[in-house]
Amino acid sequence: MMRLELVKRPQRSALFSALSPFIAFLLTIIAGAIMFALLGVNPLNAFRIYFIEPISQVWQLHELAIKAAPLILIAVGLSVCYKANIWNIGAEGQFILGGIVGSMIPVLFPRFEGPLVLPLMLLLGMVGGAAYAAIPALLKTRFGTNEILTSLMLVYVAQLFLDWLVRGPWRDPQGHGFPQTVQFNDSAILPELMPDSGRANWGFVFALVAAGLIWILMSRMLKGFEVRVLGSSPRAGRFAGFGLNRMVFFAFLLSGALAGLAGISEVSGAIGQLQPVISPGYGFTAIIVAFLGRLNPLGIVAAGLVLALTYLGGEAVQSALGISDKVARVFQGMLLFFVLGCDTLIHYRIRLIGLAAPKLEAAPKLEEAR
């Protein structure tokens, strides 16, 4: 019988801080190999199909960028929340509301065209996401209601609201009864970056810009310092005159706006109209992206690309090997697990000890305690 024991390091280990995402990825690969073997598939073959084939051609890299853009946009916003120890887990709902509010222009005013349309849509999308995120923020600051549960409940409400819109008032009358809105007119479509080689659109640029701006905010500005202080020690933050309530609003509005921007970018870029479902769980996967990227905007860009690949790989193994595309979700979940586990190594040394050992150490332990 063995037992784990954690020994606190005198200071955080820079080595493991850098290594842990890679160790986590390696462990995920090993666990994934076991899983594929259990499913009766040759792991090497499965990995080739999962991780390499989906990015072996230029147009496929465009698809990767399309999937990575919303993940990065949402995750950089969430990273600010989580750094401040504020738990917005309803980004999926804010994404949907961003998509809905931003779509008001092309759906309600389909004749409105011109260069103003797109900026207005993106702005409305951010407003929609931020406004929806303001609800849990308001409830938390006003009544002390747990933001984890309220922000999550609002995801279900948002999904049902979108479902009602596209089946009811916003349904395309010429759509043969399909639950979808009209196709957006050309000036409401987010342009592609390089139409010659693939479908990737400006959403990816937004994601990179957002990551850069949040990086500057967090590492070069007072607000970023405030976030970190309030996150690690609310008491110290109060002494410094930082308001926790203001921070709750700041974090929720910022992450909501970015999720909303991701939502409207997805709708006007990759989809081109509203449908009952506009997200394969980007808002939840972004939580994994945020942690895998160590809550650091630059790490998040890399993590977003990795998680985008798990989506593409899931689709690839489904069509090539007949395995459920839920395999992507399993990979994502495992990855987060291993990342969190490996993060322990940053602050602690892990020792494996037999059960008999503590007795022998009993005497010096007392000495140490004094």
Partner 1 sequence: MDITVNILLTIATAATPLLIAAIGELVVERSGVLNLGVEGMMIMGAVGGFGAGYLTGSPWIGLLAAIAMGALFSLLFAVMTLSLATNQVATGLSLTLLGLGLSGMMGTSFVGQPGQRLPNLDIPGLTSIPVVGRLLFGQDPIFYISIALTAAVAWFLFKTRTGLTLRSIGDSHTSAHALGIKVIRYRYLAVIFGGACAGLAGGHLSLVYTPQWVENMTAGRGWIALALVVFASWRPWRVLAGAYIFGAVWIGQLHAQAFGIPVPSQLLSSLPYLATVVVLVLISRNKRLTMMNTPASLGQPFVPDR
Which residues in this chain contact partner 1 in the complex, by CB under 8 A? 4-6, 8, 82, 87, 89, 139, 143-146, 148-150, 152-154, 156-157, 160-161, 163-164, 167-168, 284-285, 287-288, 291, 323-324, 326-334, 336-337, 340-341, 343-344, 348, 350, 361, 365, 368
Closest to partner 1 by CB, 127 vs 328, is 328
3-state secondary structure of 194: coil
Q: Closest distance between partner 1 and the C-beta of residue 150, in Å? A: 5
Q: Return the C-alpha torsion angle 75, 77, 82, 88, nearest 10.
A: -90
Q: Closest distance between partner 1 and the C-beta of residue 337, in Å? A: 5
Closest to partner 1 by CB, 60 vs 275, is 275
Phi, psi of 352 (to 5 degrees): -95, 125
Q: Closest distance between partner 1 and the C-beta of residue 16, in Å? A: 13
Q: Taking phi first (over 0 means left), then psi (-120 to 50 degrees means alpha), and beta for anything else, what does residue 108 get?
A: alpha
Closest to partner 1 by CB, 9 vs 238, is 9
- Rounded Cα distance, 348 and 360, in Å: 23
Closest CA to 303 of 206, 232, 207: 207
3-state secondary structure of 126: helix
**DSSP secondary structure letters along 160-182:** HHHHHHHHTTTS-TTSTT-S--P
- Rounded Cα distance, 239 and 262, in Å: 36
β-sheet bridge partners, residue 6: 350
Q: Closest distance between partner 1 and the C-beta of residue 261, in Å? A: 23
CA distance from start to end of the chain: 30
Closest to partner 1 by CB, 38 vs 222, is 38
Closest to partner 1 by CB, 200 vs 328, is 328
Q: Closest distance between partner 1 and the C-beta of residue 194, in Å? A: 33
Closest to partner 1 by CB, 82 vs 184, is 82
Q: Closest distance between partner 1 and the C-beta of residue 24, in Å? A: 12
Closest to partner 1 by CB, 12 vs 326, is 326
Q: Closest distance between partner 1 and the C-beta of residue 313, in Å? A: 13
Give alpha helix (H) positions in 168-233. 203-220, 222-232
Distances (CA, A) of 333 to 18, 288, 348: 21, 8, 23
Q: Do the Cβ atoms of 286 and 75 come closer than 8 Å?
A: yes
The residue behind tokens 């011109």 is 114
Q: Closest distance between partner 1 and the C-beta of residue 369, in Å? A: 8
Closest to partner 1 by CB, 131 vs 157, is 157
Running DSSP on this structure, what letter comes out for residue 295?
T
Closest to partner 1 by CB, 131 vs 330, is 330
User: What count of other Cβ atoms lies within 10 Å of the Cβ of residue 61?
Assistant: 16
- Rounded Cα distance, 323 and 317, in Å: 6
- Rounded Cα distance, 145 and 347, in Å: 31
Q: Closest distance between partner 1 and the C-beta of residue 285, in Å? A: 8
